[in-house]
Chains A and B, each alone.
Chain A
Amino acid sequence: MTRILKSIEEFEGEVSESLVIVDGHDLPPARHDGGSPEIGRSRRRIDATQRVTGRARYTQDLYLAGMLHARILRSPHARARVRRIDTKRAEALPGVRGVLHRFNTPKTPFRGDDVIFREEVRFVGEEVCAVAADDEDTAREALALIEVDYERLPHVVDLEEALGDVAPQLESDGNVSESGSHKRGDTKRALKEADVAVDVTYRTSTQLHNALETHGAVALYDGEMLTVWESTQHVFGVRTGLKNALKLPYSRIRVICDYMGGGFGAKNGVGKYTIVASLFAMRFGKAVRCVLTRDEENLAAGNRSATLQQLRLGAKGGRITAIEHTSWSNSGQGKWIANPTGPTNTLYEVANVNTRSYKVVTNAGSLSAFRAPGYVEGAFALESAIDELAEAAGVDPLTLRRRHAGAGKDPITGNRYSDKHLLECYRIGAKEIGWDRRRAGGTRGSAPHRRRGIGMASQIWGGGGGPPAYATVHVDPDGSVVLTAGTQDIGTGTRTVLAQICADELGVELDDVRVQIGDSAGPFGPMSAGSMTLASVGPAVRLAAHDAREQLLGAAAGVLETPKAELRLEAGAIVSKGARTPLGEVLGKVDNNTVIGKGIRFPNADDLAQKTFSAQFAEVEVDVRTGEIFVERIVAALDVGRIVNPLTAASQVEGGVIQGIGFALSEERIVDRALGRVMSGNLEGYKVPTVKDVPTIVVKFVDRPDRRANNLGAKGLGEPPIIPTAAAIANAVANATGARVRHSPLTRARVLEALALAGIRD
């Protein structure tokens, strides 16, 4: 019976309620007895061969016949009014097809603005014009011929400058606005009554995504359909963005993302480049390609906000009694912020908590979601501060955390966790790193002037996923299977794990399943973000496979003239009393029939909180005279429910840890304050970790299904592994040296300064 149900979902720290149309019933939790043929098995990615042979087609690889090339002219000023634009010389250049700008472009609503080219441009890199030309070079040349009359306006790019009185005020109500708060108990009193307290300020610098594939789209319009290939984490989100911007119905927009070179949160929806490509495509009836360069990527494609965070913590009798946390985030021109106080509000059971977070607008590129937005920045501050408190209180920092990590309920909503094994993560991680070797004050390193230390940090995050998400399983008469699902593989291995779930539930070989995803022509699915893909789409796939299997067994019962109850489907064959008949043979009898199984994601329980938990342990050496940090080992112990594919799961963890190491040690956007320009706009200046920066990473999963979360018992894993890394490293550095670096990344300058402050270096 079709009906409407309520569901509670969490997306990147925000909880919301939604309504879902459902039909039929969900499956009971999948078995977890080690007998599953696919689930829980390490499988090479099913698209590995396509990828490594270069056949996999990414958006950037797409060159269609007669395609035009669009390029964007970007503001060289941090803030200016665009008074006049003269495109005569550009348009006279042979090969130039057209120019779009604020005076000739129709209204195209985009993220809260009603145009894509604003009158007042507000950061270096903001879009001013777009050119379409027959080839890329001509388009680039044309940009240089456009004359723009800018009226320059005072600007501010730096977070702390923007907070000050003398900074230009960018919004009518100032640069600073409160964006969230939480209060429980009475922190003032608790701090007054505390035996020990710490009052510390942390900073985190802006991190840039720098996915291997830059943002970009290719649009094609045939007079009826607008087809857009885009490097995106959400084909349906791009579709919605285009619908709003171009006023086309869903039925006339198709968005495709076949293979994708990473997004990390920055590709969650439509971009101005998508709209530009589409507008030109619709005007000229041709394919138009608009793909950003690395430089543009680092100016205008999002970032993890820089933060300033103040924490006050109190302890009494060896327990944390109070946490106050105030945070300011540089959102650039973004209209929201990722909340760094999220972990403070929910990670530990602490009676008195008071947090507040502020959005600060500046004339810098806008934030976008970035792998656990807010929580990475927040965990760096919170988990560093907890160590500082433990040190002040003379308590082992892991012991202190254990005292607060056992709660079974979400402290804000009071809802029970669907499952939680954080203490188990501590146990596994501590054993693996050898926590009992840790000494207050660190130990001697492997060379003179080198100190060795161990640190840890933990994490809470969503990852429960939720509806709506759909899948269908078609079984053709030869027994081959096509799984279609509303999702896309952004490089995480989604294709592979969905195929595994399908093969497992259906009873066919993995090789027999072809996965069709990344296409808005199929059924809807959520964005591949918020660690929710597997937990959202996986259960729908299981249900679709189950539905198909039931139909197949019914059909087989008819063909084989055997009661359905005596039949099983295993490894692609119908098994009956020891006799195996290949599925193709059975279905051959009903040639050209197609069996279609259907699956949806059922709602989440509205009285449970689905969370992921983990802890990371870092062992480092620090050269106390040069400030160089050597990360030797990271142990990550995670509770993310059931593990579908240990191999792809471990690769998510390794990737998260590596990106966390970048955030901790070397990745930092550098902006000239006077010019407003990003100076570290390429991969020479912006330092992502190299293979030599990557330590031994040990990945451990608790691997217990969360039976109350969904019918798979699996939760998300994309974001948890980046959250605690930087704090674990900073804590290890402090343990090794006695010097506390309160600003990530821990560059030479900051480490040397902290060492000097601590009196360790002359």
Chain B
Amino acid sequence: MNAFSYVRPRTLSDGLRLLRSGASALAGGTDLLGLMKDGLARPELLVDLTGIEGLRGWSRAKGKGLRIGALTPLVELEEAEELHRAMPILRESLRDAATLQLRTMGTVGGNLLQRNRCWYFRDQATACWLKGGTKCFAVEGENRLHAILGAHECVAVAPSDLVPALIAYDAEIALASSRGRRTMKLADLYVAPHGRERREHVLRPGELITEVRVSESALARKGAFQKAMERKAWSFALVSVAAAARIERGVARDVRLVLGGVAPIPWRVVAAERGLEGSGFDEAACAEAADRALQGAAPLRDNGYKLPLARELVRRTLRSLVV
């Protein structure tokens, strides 16, 4: 690990001011410290956000939807009963994410911005394309965990379990930097690395996520989440599926279907969502949606199994919304 300085500001404005070039925001550190130890991140200054007032915790004001502070530890989302009633998919998606220790340290903002787990990326000795090299080693190498959909130069997959769940609820994020504030759809934060864009998200330098927001209308949706792993715990998703819909008299509205672990970005499948709109999530409609979800899939040497696996998880997750 390189030498670095460390500060723990008390206010957001101090934090933003300190986040000049060479500085990195530190939340729970469960991803960043690992990257630093492996020489994959070399910040000169760590700006610890955990001392900043008002970034931690969540609230739900009548009619104003849900606001979750970016510094809220994942375990709080998982354990709060009121939150569970408002948005059960949070607990469902976090239950099998990482481990309890990691969820206790790890925060919402950090989860949204965690870097991919491609083993070539995480291996300091391998200068792959995403790290500025010339080639992606996974394409022709060991790719059982890699993308089957939507990849360009880099076939790493979006790792988070929480993100597909939030996107299924049209979550927005609030951003702040020393130059001002903005909001965006969480889904728009992510890009599949390509061309000169050798990164997984579009957060600007010096910018912080302050909050995640879910609108009141989205909270009316019913949601479900499923995840397939290589063992029964402490595993990133081979495939994960988040689905949500408003169900009015047995008919689906505002259907959302988002997959994790299959593409470089959280893989929302609008075509499948449209096909389900107005359906009752009957077997046939779910099976068709599952097929649509995987349209265009281009498996690599070792990850073809993700197709049947994803298809079945999609079908099951959708079905579970009505049965």
Whether B129 is near chain A, meaning CB under 8 Å from some CB there, is: no
Contact B141 A680 (CB under 8 A): no
Contact B231 A693 (CB under 8 A): yes
Query: Which B residues are in CB contact (< 8 Å) with A761?
Result: 308
Contact B228 A626 (CB under 8 A): yes
For the complex, give the distance between the alpha carbons of A685 and B312 in Å. 25
Q: Are A689 and B231 also in contact (CB < 8 A) when A677-B125, A679-B123 are?
A: yes
Q: Are A675 and B233 also in contact (CB < 8 A) when A684-B117, A748-B305, A752-B309 are?
A: no
Q: Are A749 and B302 also in contact (CB < 8 A) when A675-B137, A680-B119 are?
A: yes
Contact A677 B123 (CB under 8 A): yes
Q: Per-residue 0/1 for B115-150: is the Cβ within 8 Å of any A Cβ (1 yes, 0 no)? A: 001011001011000000000010011101000000
User: Within A657-707, which residues are at the interface with B (CB < 8 Å)?
Assistant: 665-666, 670-675, 677, 679-681, 684-685, 687, 689-693
Whether A243 is near chain B, meaning CB under 8 Å from some CB there, is: no
Chain A contact surface mostly: loop
For the complex, give the distance between the alpha carbons of A473 and B17 in Å. 71
Query: Which B residues are in CB contact (< 8 Å) with A690?
Result: 231-234
Whether B238 is near chain A, meaning CB under 8 Å from some CB there, is: yes
Whether A753 is near chain B, meaning CB under 8 Å from some CB there, is: yes
Whether A756 is near chain B, meaning CB under 8 Å from some CB there, is: yes
Q: Per-residue 0/1 for A241-282: is the Cβ within 8 Å of any B Cβ (1 yes, 0 no)? A: 000000000000000000000000000000000000000000
Contact B231 A748 (CB under 8 A): no
- Chain A nearest CB, measured from B98 CB (Å): 10
Q: Identify A675's interface contact among B126, B231, B305, CB under 8 A.
A: B126
For the complex, give the distance between the alpha carbons of A627 and B305 in Å. 9
Whether B313 is near chain A, meaning CB under 8 Å from some CB there, is: yes
When C-beta atoms are compared, the residue in chain A nearest to B304 turns out to be: A749
When C-beta atoms are compared, the residue in chain A nearest to B3 turns out to be: A137
For the complex, give the distance between the alpha carbons of A627 and B313 in Å. 11
Q: How many Cβ-Cβ contacts under 8 Å join chain A to chain B?
A: 73
Query: Which B residues are in CB contact (< 8 Å) with A680?
Result: 119
User: Within B275-323, which residues are at the interface with A (CB < 8 Å)?
Assistant: 302-305, 308-309, 312-313
Query: Which A residues are in CB contact (< 8 Å) with B302?
Result: 749
Interface size class of B (residues with CB under 8 A): 20 to 34
Query: Which B residues are in CB contact (< 8 Å) with A693?
Result: 231-233
Whether B235 is near chain A, meaning CB under 8 Å from some CB there, is: yes
For the complex, give the distance between the alpha carbons of A671 and B137 in Å. 12
Contact B233 A691 (CB under 8 A): yes
Q: Per-residue 0/1 for B232-271: is the Cβ within 8 Å of any A Cβ (1 yes, 0 no)? A: 1111001000000000000000000000000000000000
- Chain A nearest CB, measured from B156 CB (Å): 13
When C-beta atoms are compared, the residue in chain B nearest to A689 turns out to be: B231
Query: Which B residues are in CB contact (< 8 Å) with A438?
Result: none
Whether A655 is near chain B, meaning CB under 8 Å from some CB there, is: no
- Chain A nearest CB, measured from B107 CB (Å): 20
Query: Which A residues are in CB contact (< 8 Å) with B82?
Result: none
When C-beta atoms are compared, the residue in chain A nearest to B236 turns out to be: A684
When C-beta atoms are compared, the residue in chain A nearest to B34 turns out to be: A684
Query: Which B residues are in CB contact (< 8 Å) with A679?
Result: 119-120, 123, 141-142
- Chain B nearest CB, measured from A451 CB (Å): 15
For the complex, give the distance between the alpha carbons of A490 and B37 in Å. 31
For the complex, give the distance between the alpha carbons of A152 and B117 in Å. 29
- Chain B nearest CB, measured from A440 CB (Å): 26
Whether A76 is near chain B, meaning CB under 8 Å from some CB there, is: yes
Contact A687 B230 (CB under 8 A): yes
Contact B141 A756 (CB under 8 A): no
Interface residues, chain A, with chain B CB atoms under 8 Å away: 76, 625-628, 665-666, 670-675, 677, 679-681, 684-685, 687, 689-693, 747-749, 752-753, 756, 761
Jot down 21 A-B pairs with beta carbons below 8 A, ordered by A.
Answer: A665-B231, A666-B230, A670-B119, A672-B141, A672-B142, A674-B140, A675-B141, A677-B123, A677-B125, A677-B126, A679-B119, A679-B120, A679-B142, A684-B117, A687-B231, A693-B232, A748-B305, A748-B309, A749-B302, A749-B304, A752-B308
